[in-house]
Structure 1
Amino acid sequence: MNNDYLIAVVDDDENIRTLIQAYLHKENYRTIGLANAEDAWSLHRISPPSMWVMDIMLPGMDGYELCKRIRNEGEVPIIMISAKDNEVDKILGLELGSDDYLVKPFSPRELVARIKRQLERWIRITGAGEKAVVSDVATPRIDAGELQLMLEERRAIWRGEEVDLTSKEFTMLKVLAEHPNRAFTRDELLSFVWGEDYFGSDRAVDHLIKRIRKKIEELPIESVWGHGYRMRTDRSEA
């Protein structure tokens, strides 16, 4: 049910906020409107919504910084809206973690369609909204050297210590660990992690790998120059 999801609309233009919220209410989504990024960040810390629609040009903290902060803590869908239509601005927004980018002026119906698509993808990736199934079957697990991935629990263990990963970070590790030593192209990783209909830059892959490497510094993910990435499990110990 759409009313299970709360969508936060962050824009300092009250008319735009009201218009977006009105169209979302017609689709039975719950919404909350915010005029600045500081209030939005407070909401995220206290009671995070199911999805964000945010402008880039905001008073005080801008949308880029807000997106970066939210993305560093989770994979909730983010759509950026902006009057900036330069390719550089779009790429920057996508690299910082937004899932979609829409240029003003835009059709509210198109925005609603993109919101639906992003929520459906998020539900598919995370299993949000699905009821837990009790089973006596042992939890599937992937072992890749010193890394273990508990698939049903979506837990990652590195050298015996659990690592806190976002949904996309976990999915990226799952793809690489399931096929050790295979070199994946950036386009392949985009398709596996973001979905085949993702239109953003393949540099989003580099940004995600950078985040994973920061959390697990000695993880053997190698860059394959001009191609993409692979996880090595065949390296001999020194």
Structure 2
Amino acid sequence: MNQQIYIVEDDANIRDIVKAYLIKDGFQVTLLENAEDAWQRAQSGQPEMWILDIMLPGMDGYELCKKIRQVSEVPIIIISAKDEEVDKILGLELGSDDYLTKPFSPRELVARVKRLFKRAEARPIDQTDTTAVIELGELEIDKAARIVYWKKQEIDVTSKEFEMLEIFAQKPKRAFSREELLTLVWGDDYFGSDRAVDDLVKRLRKKLDSLPIETVWGYGYRLEYDEDQK
């Protein structure tokens, strides 16, 4: 495997246990006690995955997660003693890929690490789709360059935001269920709830103001575009 994982955790016991389990499964592990040191180290190169505690001295894990997402799309797992739904949702909104509540089984954490790497490596490329650019009204998606334009302005989007937007744009007016979007964007082995879909749609609506992503109540979402807008 040899993937490099940064663990940012101020509890030495948890750091050492998690490190032992990950090394046993072939991962390279770097231990860091606080977010400031972790962020400074990241300036010289990102690891292939981050595991972040929330309750850190100084800068907390949420702020570090936000900073990482501004420069990188590597997988992020948040671990925290906070098990309230609002905390999990905040972690997802800031760009984490998974959220694990303490106390947790080190074996479960390793399983989630493997699944995230597997999903990242297994993203299919549709070789039969020759459409390089999708244009819908004021929305333009350059699939090859993975760039989104809205009202002729380039919009900064994360990898998951891009993937969901591409799904909507490829089949405008089609309603997608939350469960379907969860599988298409996060993979069928995702541990989290379908609230992650709502959070991602919320972020897209904020970044692409007035983009007609409509809620299909009790079901999911669709991108509403008339044929003459294409």
TM (normalized to structure 1)? 0.81
Report the counterpart of residue 177 of structure 1 in structure 2.
169
Q: Structure 1 pair 98/229, CA: closer, same or farther in 2 (3 Å)?
A: same
Q: CA deviation at 1:196?
A: 1.9
Choose which of 207, 225, 230 in structure 1 pairs with 2:222.
230
Report the counterpart of residue 158 of structure 1 in structure 2.
150
Please report the RMSD computed on the Cα atoms of aligned residues, expressed in angstroms.
2.8
Q: Deviations over 1:198-225 (max 9, x none)?
A: 2323222222223223332243323334
CA–CA separation in structure 2 for the residues paired with 1:24 and 1:112? 6
Structure 2 residues without counterparts, runs of 5 or longer: none
Q: Please say if residues 89 and 199 of structure 2, whose CA atoms lie closer than 8 Å, have aligned partners that are also in contact.
A: no
CA–CA separation in structure 2 for the residues paired with 1:191 and 1:184? 11
Report the counterpart of residue 199 of structure 1 in structure 2.
191
Report the counterpart of residue 39 of structure 1 in structure 2.
37
Q: Structure 1 pair 144/124, CA: closer, same or farther in 2 (3 Å)?
A: farther
CA–CA separation in structure 2 for the residues paired with 1:220 and 1:91? 23
Q: Structure 1 pair 162/125, CA: closer, same or farther in 2 (3 Å)?
A: farther
Q: Please say if residues 20 and 108 of structure 1, whose CA atoms lie closer than 8 Å, have aligned partners that are also in contact.
A: yes
What is the number of equivalent residue pairs in this alignment? 227
One-letter amino acid of the structure 2 residue matched with residue 100 of structure 1: D
Q: Structure 1 pair 31/232, CA: closer, same or farther in 2 (3 Å)?
A: same
Q: Deviations over 1:121-161 (max 9, x none)?
A: 1223498xxxxxxx9x9663323223232323323233444
One-letter amino acid of the structure 2 residue matched with residue 98 of structure 1: S
Say which SS state the counterpart of residue 193 (structure 1) adopts. helix
Q: CA deviation at 1:52?
A: 0.8
Report the counterpart of residue 56 of structure 1 in structure 2.
54
One-letter amino acid of the structure 2 residue matched with residue 7 of structure 1: I
TM (normalized to structure 2)? 0.83
Q: Deviations over 1:57-76 (max 9, x none)?
A: 11112222322333354432
CA–CA separation in structure 2 for the residues paired with 1:111 and 1:199? 11
Say which SS state the counterpart of residue 110 (structure 1) adopts. helix
Report the counterpart of residue 102 of structure 2 in structure 1.
104
CA–CA separation in structure 2 for the residues paired with 1:12 and 1:65? 16
Q: Structure 1 pair 212/45, CA: closer, same or farther in 2 (3 Å)?
A: farther
